[in-house]
Amino acid sequence: NEGNEYFREKDYGKAVIAYSEGLKKGCEDAELNAVLHTNRGAAQFHLGNYRSALNDAIQAKKLKPTHLKAIIRGALCHMELKNFSEAIAWCEEGLRIDPKEKKLVEMRAKADKLKVGAGCKESKGDGEERAASKGNFTCSNKGGLERNIKLVHEPSNEEEEISDGLAEISLDGFHSDNATGAKVHLDADGNLNWPVLFLYPEHEQTDFIAAFHEQSRFIDHLMVMFAELPPWDLERKYLPSNLELYFEDEERAEMHELNPEHTLLQVLQHQRYFVKAGTPTVLAFVKGSPFSKKYFSGKKVHRL
């Protein structure tokens, strides 16, 4: 109920935390747990955390295979992540339950159309969305806002398409190739929303936020992402207050610690932060852990 109240108030971060608290109670009512997962997924979706929202839809569907809201949400997540084949499969699954469900019928048709056109080269991009280019990014919009954000233009055979998706990002032997499809965009208020990748080197895991508002703080996202401990955190160490965030200055082979209280824009405006492939990337470590000590051994680290 608390989660629903936050959701109605559009405070989606608090809604995620409330639904997570409900799930932690370990209720044996499968239908209630399916609703909690579906509702948390809806809140995650509104935050732009499409991968987390999809995971909740999957869990809800396992608990209640005929739960149409979960199926619709899962299909929507696949659409946002540009996984059109998967979106079609989820739509078809839902239509077997209710052949007249309007949202699924419309989404199925749209996914079909987008799947066909997915390989086609975009002839002209929307000027507000094509933000990956050489040098500094200056955005002039109706608010007259200018940003000093340094972007690295990755070598590509199709240079015009560099901002249409995320390039595969690799770091110390692990990579994320599932975050494709998201791109930086301006919202109606003239604020930028970025796709942001979180890397957890100790466990070779990643988190992907498809739309990280430039005025959002990192700590706010950490509170949502780790409202429930991830299954790979067997030692239960990944608590928001127990984490340190860094970015890597590859040119100088140096690491810079971030202040979690800072907004994304503050971090992107750091003089040594360079955005590669249109996707800001940060690394998360457990404070003082043996792994982090080993990881930073021999590296120049600029700490707070």
Among residues 80, 122, 89, which one has the least CA distance to residue 108? 89
If DSSP codes are grouped into helix, strand and coil, which group holds residue 193? Answer: strand
Give the pTM.
Answer: 0.55
pLDDT tens digits for 176-218?
A: 333 445 678 887 778 888 989 899 999 988 888 888 889 999 9
Is residue 118 over pLDDT 80?
no
Give the contacts of 64 (CB within 8 A, at least 6 positions apart).
Answer: 30, 31, 34, 70
The yes/no answer on whether domain 1-122 falls in CATH 2.60.120.580 is no
Average pLDDT of the segment spanning 87-106: 91
Residue 281 near residue 169, CB atoms below 8 Å? yes
The structure tokens 């869990």 sit at 59
If DSSP codes are grouped into helix, strand and coil, which group holds residue 111? Answer: helix
Sign of the alpha-carbon torsion through 59, 60, 66, 71: negative
If DSSP codes are grouped into helix, strand and coil, which group holds residue 59? Answer: helix
Least confident residue range of 54-68, 74-88, 157-171, 256-270: 157-171
- DSSP structure class, residue 9: T
User: In this predicted structure, what is the pLDDT of residue 117?
Assistant: 66
Give the contacts of 37 (CB within 8 A, at least 6 positions apart).
Answer: 19, 23, 56, 57, 59, 60, 63, 70
Is residue 15 over pLDDT 90?
yes
Residue 257 near residue 243, CB atoms below 8 Å? no
For residue 151, give the amino acid letter: L
Helices (H) and strands (E) in the chain, counts: 10, 12
Per-residue tokens: 36: 């909690």
Share of the chain above pLDDT 90, in %: 50
State the number of CA atoms in the 13 A half-sphere of 70 facing the CB: 24
pLDDT tens digits for 215-255?
A: 999 998 898 888 888 888 999 999 999 999 999 998 888 99
> CB count, 10 Å around CB of 199?
23
Give domain 138-155+173-303's CATH architecture: Roll (3.10)
Among residues 5, 16, 43, 36, which one has the least CA distance to residue 223? 16
Average pLDDT of the segment spanning 151-162: 46
User: In this predicted structure, what is the pLDDT of residue 82?
Assistant: 86
- The distance of Cα 137 from the centroid of its chain, to the nearest Å, equals 22
Is residue 155 over pLDDT 80?
no
> Any idea where the domains of the chain sit in the sequence?
1-122, 138-155+173-303
User: In this predicted structure, what is the pLDDT of residue 153?
Assistant: 60
Measured CA to CA, the distance from residue 2 to residue 219 in angstroms comes to: 22
The residue ranking higher by pLDDT, 121 or 104, is 104
**Alpha carbon separation from 229 to 1, 64, 209, 239 (Å, rounded):** 22, 23, 17, 8
Report, in angstroms and rounded to the nearest whole number, the Rg of the chain calculated over CA atoms.
20
* Dihedral angle, C-alpha 151, 152, 153, 154, nearest 10 °: -140
Among residues 173, 158, 140, 133, which one has the least CA distance to residue 277? 133
For residue 224, give the amino acid letter: V
Measured CA to CA, the distance from residue 109 to residue 185 in angstroms comes to: 25
Q: What is the mean pLDDT of the chain?
A: 80
Per-residue tokens: 7: 């959701």
> Phi first, then psi: what are they for 300, rounded to 5°?
-80, 120
The residue ranking higher by pLDDT, 158 or 302, is 302
- Which of the four pLDDT bands, split at 50, 70 and 90, describes residue 261? very high
